[in-house]
Structure 1
Amino acid sequence: MALDQFGPFAVMFEEGELDVPGYLRLLHLHTPESQIVIDRVERALSAGDPARWVAALFRDADWRPHLVGAIALLLDQGETLDRNLLWCAIDSGSWVTPQLIVAAVFVDPSFPEKARVRVDEQCPVLVPVSLTPAERHSATGPDGLLGRRAKMLASILAASASIRSLERWASDLQRDVRIEHLLKEDEWNGSDKIVASWMTNVRRAFLERGHILAPKAT
C-alpha cells in the first residue's frame, strides 16, 4: 500500500497526535479520538481534487483505505463523489464490508436495488488475484471466499432492517434454507453485530458534528 497514491488522505495512516494510526480509530468509532480522524478526512476533502483521491482509496485492495473512503463519502454532503466506489470494495470482499454496507445505507439511494441483486445471486465476491497469499491476508483479512460471501450477506441483511422497504424482505430471507446455510459461515465474524454497532456509533459521531445521518432510501 503506497501512501503517496492517496494524496492528502495519506495522513490518515499516520499517528500524529494519536497513539495509533488514524484509520484504526474508524474501525469502531467509539472513542473521542475518532473525531480527530474524521477532522483529518474533512480537511483532506477540502485539499483539492477529492474525487481522484477517494477513488484511489477504494481502488486499493487493502481494507484500510476503504474505511477512510467510507468516512469521506459520509462527509460528502454535496454528493459529488461516486457512491459506486463503496460497492466495488464490497464486491471485492473487503474485510470492512460491514462498515462499508452501513455507509452505503446513508449515502446511496439505490441501496435496496443493489442489496437485492447481490443477495439474489448469493453475494458473489471477486477477490483481487494479483496478491500473494501473505499480501492477501494482510490486505483483505483471513476469510476465504465463502466467508467473504457470508460476511456480505449478513451485513446486507442486518443493514436492511433500517430501511422500511427492505425490512420484511430481510426478515423473510432469514427462513430461507440456502440463506440460513450461508449465514452460519459468518457466525464467528458476527457481521450483523458489527453493522449494528457501527451504525449506532457513526450516527453518534456525526451527530456530534451537527450532521444527522439517515438512510437515503425508504
Structure 2
Amino acid sequence: MSELDFGIFKDFWNGHPNHLPLMGLHNDNNEPAEWNLNKSLERLDIICDGNDQGLIIEGIHKLLNNEDWRPHLVAIMASFKLEQTEQKKLIPELWNRLEKGSWISPQILSVLSIIDSEFEIKAEEILNNGFKVNFSPMEMAKYHSSRGPEGSKGASEKVINSIKSLLENKNDDFGWKGNLIRLIESKKFKINTKHNNELS
C-alpha cells in the first residue's frame, strides 16, 4: 500500500499489513511481534503527532478516496486525531464513502454513530427508505481484493444490517464500537484533546 499516494499515511504499512489489527481492535495472543494492534496504534500516533491538522486531513481524504477498504480503516481511526470541528467536516465524506461502497461499512457506521449527532435520524431514514451502494467500474481482477466478495446488493444489505445492530445495541460494549471506546477510555488509543468531551 505504501507506493500509493496517501500523503503522510503512505508509510503506515512499512511492509506489514498494519491495517489488519484495526479490523477488530482487540489484542490477539497470536499476533506477530512485527505487526499487531499496539504497533498499528503507535504508528498512527507517530504519524499524526508529527504533522499538523491540515496534513492529517489531506491524508484522510486520500485514504477515503481510494476504492480499497484497507485505507478506509486507517482513515476512520485517524479521524479521531482531529479537533472536533475538523472531524465534523468529515461526516458527509464518510456517508459518501458508504454510498460508494466499502467492505468496512460496519466500522464506518460505528464511527458515524459516535461523531454524527444526527446519526439516528439518518439511520432511521435509511431503514425506512432503503440504501443502495453504487460501486464505480473496476476490473474484476481487482474487485474482490479491494471490495470483498459482496456485490452492490450484498454491500447495501450489509449497511442496513449494521445500522439495525447499532440502533438495537446502543451500549458501548457492542462489537467494534465497544472495542474502540474501551481503547479510548483506557488511553491506549490517544484521541485529540479538543475532541468530543464524552470521549476525552
After TM superposition, is the score higher than 0.5? yes
Give the unaligned 5+ runs of structure 2.
29-35
Is residue 155 of structure 1 aligned with residue 189 of structure 2?
no
Residues of 2 paired with 1:153 and 1:43: CA distance? 35
* Equivalent in the alignment of 1:76: 82
Structure 2 length-normalised TM: 0.79
* Equivalent in the alignment of 2:33: none
* Equivalent in the alignment of 2:18: 22
SS of the residue corresponding to residue 79 of structure 1 reads: helix
Residues of 1 paired with 2:66 and 2:38: CA distance? 24
1:60 to 49, 59, 66: 66
1:122 to 130, 149, 159: 130
Residues 215 and 123 of structure 1: CA distance in aligned 2, closer, same or farther (over 3 Å): farther
SS of the residue corresponding to residue 30 of structure 1 reads: coil
Greater mean alpha carbon deviation, residues 114-123 or residues 205-214? 205-214
Greater mean alpha carbon deviation, residues 5-14 or residues 144-153? 5-14
Residues of 1 paired with 2:59 and 2:196: CA distance? 25
* Equivalent in the alignment of 1:112: 120
Q: Tell me by how many angstroms 1:144 deviates.
A: 1.4
Greater mean alpha carbon deviation, residues 202-211 or residues 132-141? 202-211
Give the unaligned 5+ runs of structure 1.
165-194
* Equivalent in the alignment of 1:85: 93
Q: Counting helix residues as a fraction of each chain, which structure ranks higher?
A: 1
Q: Where do 1:1-218 residues align within 5 Å?
A: 3-15=3-15, 20-31=16-27, 33-46=36-49, 47-48=51-52, 49-81=55-87, 82-129=90-137, 131-163=138-170, 196-209=174-187
Runs of 4+ that moved beyond 3 A: 1-4, 210-216
Q: Tell me by how many angstroms 1:74 deviates.
A: 2.6
Structure 1 length-normalised TM: 0.73
> 1:173-207 deviations in whole A, cap 9, x for unaligned?
xxxxxxxxxxxxxxxxxxxxxx9321121112212
Residues of 1 paired with 2:38 and 2:118: CA distance? 28
